[in-house]
Amino acid sequence: MNAAPQRPSPLVAWYAVGVLMIAFIFSFLDRLILSLLVPPIMRDLQIDNFAIGLLGGLYFAVFYALMGLPIGRLADRSSRRLIVAAGIFLWSLMTAACGLARNFWHLALARVGVGVGEATLSPCAYSLISDYFPKDRIGTALGVFQCAAFIGAGIAFLVGAQVIELVAAIPFDRLPPTLADLLTQFKPWQLAFIIVGLPGVLVALLALTMREPPRQGLMQGVEQKIPWPDVIAFFSKRWRMFLAHFFGFAILAAPIANLLLWGPTHLIRNLGYTASEAGQYLGWILLICSPTAVFAGGWFTDFLRRRGRVDAPLWVGIIAAAALTPLCLVTTQLDSPFWTMVLFCPYAFFGCFAVASGPAALQLVTPNQLRATVSAVWMLALNILSAIAGPTAVGFVIDSVFGYNEAVGSSIALVGAIASPIACLFLFYGLKHFRAAARNA
């Protein structure tokens, strides 16, 4: 490696993390508002549970993930700050465009646009944070950043619940006739998308205030842009480690992804909650338990590394998978609203415990010129595999295995209880391969 350039001050670094967190919060708000609007969307667009699973899972994930590859390559040689700002602007407008949908394909195309915009954030953020902080602080910094995902999830449900109530209470008879005529052209769920999406444009301007840090850990004797054959060679030499990491951490994300998309629907269909109530209860659980878990997992990763465990990120994932297996089996199978909410707390905690460990692991074994690219490939695997093994699978199981709408809780349980042990096996297999890659980094 070349001599490392001086890093920005901690104040500058943590300011950037704060801005990236705000962007991440808005990305989850725009992404998850769909989950509170499932019943009216299904009714008005005349679609089934599998179609909702596609909208909230595979369709969004495929384009989110595929666009991450060229964006990651661009971020490895261009201004990551500008790429993030452009992405925020795009996904905010496309979230508002979801409110213009008149059929399934209109909504699907708008969701694709949201996915393309949001594909800019994580690869750029992982690369930026790796240049802002030293290696023994990356896990903590990424943990703080990843907390924003689930702060965003909590806020998405809380704000979404308030938006639904606000839209339902609009006094059309007191509005100017022109405005009233305009608003009555939209369904309440369409207005909710528009209200949630447009404020994100201001966050795009905030992203421009970050400072682009000098790149750390540059590969010796290599230009800023690494040719694709060298990228492929890098993956080929470490294919077992990447296989175990990608499949292990991606499938491990399925249970929390199921909670985010299908949790409100389970509460509404099976336990008698309104959409607003489901959003408020789940919002507070996610707002408290999930960020705590993400930060705890990032801190524990750094704690183990400082004590010589170079494979610490994978052990954090194994612990999370082992804890999630029984929780997945039980949590959405109960008839008691009280005990369901009680178990949602550890479910959310362990569902998020290893969220920072996956990206932290990759930064520890990847040279700077490849970090955004590797992160983009990771996001490809994460989003497609977790969507298939998570929300899309749940929608399929509801319609094709159980065959009735109220089976959403049983479908969440079945899919999660299969995914968690599989994730654990992949991560355990990857331990020795990750240790070898870390020694050669």
Helices 239-252 & 368-389 angle (0-180, nearest 10): 50
Which residue has tokens 């659980």? 285
Structure-token pair, residue 345: 């707390």
Q: Is pLDDT larger for residue 157 or for residue 425?
A: 425
First to last CA, the chain: 10
Radius of gyration, alpha carbons of the chain:
21
Distances (CA, A) of 176 to 1, 165, 173, 182: 66, 21, 8, 10
| Whole-Å CA distances, 8 to 161, 211, 213, 216, 219 | 40, 9, 6, 11, 20
Cβ contact 255:426 at 8 Å:
no
Closest CA to 356 of 178, 171, 153, 145: 145
Separation between Cα atoms, residue 73 and residue 123, nearest integer Å? 9
More confident site: 106 or 36: 106
pLDDT at 130: 80
Please choose, from the candidates 174, 196, 40, the residue with its C-alpha nearest in 3D space to the C-alpha of residue 114: 196
The pTM for the full model equals 0.73
What is the model's pLDDT at position 160? 77
Each residue of 367-426: pLDDT tens digit? 766 776 787 778 778 878 888 888 889 999 999 999 998 999 999 999 999 999 999 999
| Average pLDDT taken over every residue of the chain | 85
Q: With bands split at pLDDT 50, 70 and 90, how would you rate the model's confidence at 184?
A: confident
Tell me the C-alpha to C-alpha distance, in Å, between residue 371 and each of 76, 137, 190: 7, 17, 38
Task: Give pLDDT, residue 441.
Answer: 61
* Confidence label for 6 from pLDDT (cuts 50, 70 and 90): confident
Residue 219 is classified by DSSP as P
221: confidence class by pLDDT, cuts 50, 70, 90: very low
pLDDT at 142 over 80: no
- 380-406 in b/e form (b: 16+ CB < 10 A) is bbbbbbbbbbbbbbbbbbbbeeeeeee
With H, G, I as helix, E, B as strand and everything else as coil, classify residue 24. Answer: helix
* Residues contacting residue 8 through CB under 8 Å, at least 6 positions apart: 16, 132, 211, 213
Instruction: Label residue 1 by pLDDT band (50, 70, 90).
Output: very low
User: What secondary structure letter does DSSP report for 36?
Assistant: G
Q: Between 127 and 20, where is the model more confident?
A: 20
